[in-house]
Structure 1
Amino acid sequence: MNIPPGFEGNTGNKVCKLKKALYGLKQSPRAWFERFAKVMKEFGYKQSQGDHTLIIKHSASEGVTALLFYVDDIIVTENDKREKHELKQRLATEFEIKELGKLKYFLGIEVAYSHKGSSSLNKKARMYQRLVGRLIYLAHTWPDIAYSVSVISQFMHDPREPHLQAAYRVLHYLKGNPGKGILFKKNNTLALEAYIDADYAGSLVDRRSTIGYCTFLGGNLVTWRSKKQNVVAKSSAESEFRAIAQGLCELFWLKIILDDLRIKWDGPIKFFVTIRQLSILLITLYNTIGQNILRLIGISSKKN
C-alpha cells in the first residue's frame, strides 16, 4: 500500500493499523456479521442455535419477532407491531436502512401472495453449467425436480450431449408448468412429519446409492433433498440406514428451530419409512440397544 499523504520520515519497522474493515476486504463479511449480531444482542435478540443467520426476540406480550439476513438483505416477520416499530427506529440509529415493503424477491426467489397463502415462483436458465447451477437454485422451491437436478449436476465437470438433453427435458417440464410453486397454508394443528426412502447402487457410474426425504410442518412442505450418498453402500441395509440417519438429522434440526422460536409442541415426530426400512431399523435397534438393555437388567438383578 502507499504511504498516507502527509506522512514523512523513515518507514522502516512500521506498519499501519486497520481500525475499520473496508468494503472489499476478505474480512469485511465477518466484521459486518459480528457488528450486526452485536447490535441485535444489545436490542435483546438472540441467535438461533440451528441457524446463526436467524435472530429472534420474544416479547413480554408473548409476541415474537424474527429476522433472517443474508449479508445486508434482511427479512423481518413478526406478530408484535410495537416491537417491529421499535426495531426499525433502533436499526435506523445504528445503520443506514431502507424498508422495501412486503417481501417480493429474496436471493433470486420471487414470492407471490394469494388469499390461501404465499407461493414461491422461479425462472429458467441457459447453457449447461449455468443452466444446471440455476436449476440447483430452482430445486429449493421445486421439490419435484430435486432428483433430476441431483443427477444432471453430477456431470458438471464433463457434460456430454445426453446430459444437455436431460437438462433440456427439465426445462421443458418447467416451461409446461408455469406459475407453479409451494403453497403455505394456515393450519391450527402443528405436526412434524418426514418421508424417507433410498435406492441401492442406483448410479450406473459409481454404484453409489441415492437418498431422498421431505419434511412437513403443519401439513406444509418445508424441506426436502435428493442426494447421492458419499460412500458406496455394501448392502441395501446400509443404504437404507444412512437415509434414515440423514432424515432424523433434518427432523432434529427443525426441532431446534421450533425450540428457538418457543413454539411449544410435545407431540410425536412422525417418521414414514418403507417396510424394508422399518425392519432394518428394528433389527439395528435391537442389536445395538436392546441387547445392552437386557444385559444391564441381568447385571442389576444379579447385584440385588
Structure 2
Amino acid sequence: MVLPLGFQGQKPGQACKLLRSLYGLKQASRQWNAKLNSALASRGFEQSKSDPSLLTKGSGKDFIAILIYVDDILVGSPNLHQIQILKAFLDDTFKIKDLGSLGFFLGIEAHVGDSGLNLCQRKYALDILNESGFINCKPVNTPMVPGHQLSKEGGTALADISSYKRLIGRLLYLTATRPDIAYAVQQLSQFVDTPTDEHLTAAHRVLLYIKKAPGQGLFYPKNGALQLNAFSDSDWASCSETRKSVTGFCVFLGSSLISWRSKKQATVSRSSSEAEYRALAATVCELQWLNLLLHGLQAKPSKPAVVFCDSKSAIAIAENHVFHERTKHIDIDCHVVREKVSQGLIKLLSVTSTSQTADGFTKTLPTSMFQWFVSKLGIQNLHAPVYGGIRGYERQFRRRALTPIHAS
C-alpha cells in the first residue's frame, strides 16, 4: 500500500494496518457486480431486461441461465456439460465454492423429486419460532382472527419497537414461500413505526399459525402447462383510517403459483368497481413482466393470459369505452388494462366470489374458507408424513442440472 500524501511521521520500512476491508465499503457490491457481469458478458451471456439479476445464453438443449444474488449464484440448464464449462470458467476467473445440486439457496430449502420441485423455509421458520419463544406453542388454524380490525389507536405503545420491527422483517422474507400469510404480514407491516401490544399479539398469532406446519411451502409439478392464469380481487375501503382498498392477486403458470401480492392501494377509490379496476391494472402489469421474463427463459406462453375477476363492472370498464364518464377521474396508468385487452395479451373472464382464489389476499377469512384458499395455492408440507417426510423425498432425490455456487 502507498501512504497518503501529507501523512505525518512517515519513516522508512513502515507498513499500513488495514482497518476496513473492501467488503465494508459502500461501492464494494457495485464493483463486484460490474466485474462479474463483465466476465459473464465476455462468455456470451446477455443480461435480462426484465430482471437484471438474470443472465442467459444459448437456446434449446444448450440454453443456460444464471441467477445472481450478490456472490451467490444459481445455474440452470438442460445440459450438464454447459454447467461444468461455466463452473470451470468462474473458478479460473474467481475463486468459487461449488455447492453441488440445488439444496439450499438464500435460506430456501429446495427438493427435486420425480414429481417436481418443492420449496420451503422450514429451518428459517423454526428459527423465528425459537427466537420468539414460540417453539413449543399450541398451533392455530388461521394467521389472523376473522373480523378483527387492526388500527393505530388501539392498545398500548410498545416500549421497545425494535423486536417488533425485526419480527415483521423476518415474516416478510418468509412470505417468499408462504403466500398463505401474505395478507396478515401486509396488515402488520403498516404499524412498524408505532406498534402497540395489540399489534404484537396479532403478530404472535401468525407465529402460532406457522407452528402448525413450519415445513409448508410451494410445489411445482413437472411438465406443467405454459399457460398464465391470474386471479384479481380487491376489498373496497377496508382500511378504517384511510378508507383505502386492498389489492390482491395471484398468478399461476399452469397449476403452479409463481407470483402473488397483497398491498394497500395508493389512492382512495370512489366505488368498488374502481377498486377492482385498479387491482386489475396491478395484475396486468405483473402479467406483462412475467411474459417478458418467460420469453427470456425461452418458455413463451402459447395463449393469452387469462385474468379472472369477480367484478363484472370492472370487466365492462376494461372492455367498453362507453364508460368514459364514470372513469375519467381514474389515473391514466390504470387504463393499461384496456390497452392489453385490445392487444390480445390478456383475456378477462368473470368468476364468482365464492371461486375467487385471490380473496385470501384481501381480507381475513373464516377457518373453512381459509383452508379452501390455501388448498388452491398449490401449497404442500414437505415434511408431513403424507408426503413421505423429508427422508422419503431424499430417497427420491435425483441429480438435476440446478447448481448453486458461492463466489468469493
Relative to the length of structure 2, the TM-score reads: 0.63
Matched residue SS, 2:96: coil
Structural mapping, 1:225-264, within 5 Å: 225-264=261-300
Aligned AA (1:75): L
Gap regions ≥5 residues in structure 2 = 10-20, 133-162, 329-334, 336-408
Aligned AA (1:129): K
Structural mapping, 1:16-165, within 5 Å: 22-59=22-59, 62-122=61-121, 123-124=125-126, 125=128, 126=132, 127-165=163-201
Aligned to 2:340: none
Aligned partners of 1:187 and 1:219 also within 8 Å:
no
Matched residue SS, 2:214: coil
Correspondence for 1:278 among 295, 312, 315: 315
- Deviation for aligned residue 1:7: 8.5
- Deviation for aligned residue 1:199: 1.3
- Deviation for aligned residue 1:8: 9.7
Tell me, in whole angstroms, the C-alpha distance in 2 between the residues paired with 1:258 and 1:66. Answer: 12
CA-atom RMSD in angstroms: 2.6
Aligned residues: 277
Correspondence for 2:257 among 217, 221, 225: 221
Tell me, in whole angstroms, the C-alpha distance in 2 between the residues paired with 1:28 and 1:178. Answer: 36
Aligned AA (1:277): A
In the alignment, is residue 172 of structure 1 matched against residue 171 of structure 2? no
The structure with higher relative contact order (CA 8 Å, sep 6+) is: 2
Aligned to 2:247: 211
Q: 1:183 to 1:36 in 2, by over 3 A?
A: same
Aligned AA (2:309): V
Gap regions ≥5 residues in structure 1 = 10-20, 290-304
Tell me, in whole angstroms, the C-alpha distance in 2 between the residues paired with 1:51 and 1:244. Answer: 23
- Deviation for aligned residue 1:72: 0.3
Q: 1:55 to 1:63 in 2, by over 3 A?
A: same
Q: Which stretch has the larger CA shift, 235-244 or 158-167?
A: 235-244
Matched residue SS, 1:215: strand
Matched residue SS, 1:37: helix
Tell me, in whole angstroms, the C-alpha distance in 2 between the residues paired with 1:248 and 1:102. Answer: 35
Aligned partners of 2:228 and 2:254 also within 8 Å:
yes
Aligned AA (1:29): S
Aligned partners of 1:65 and 1:83 also within 8 Å:
yes
Aligned partners of 1:240 and 1:277 also within 8 Å:
yes
- Deviation for aligned residue 1:89: 1.3
Q: Which stretch has the larger CA shift, 103-112 or 167-176?
A: 103-112
Matched residue SS, 2:259: strand
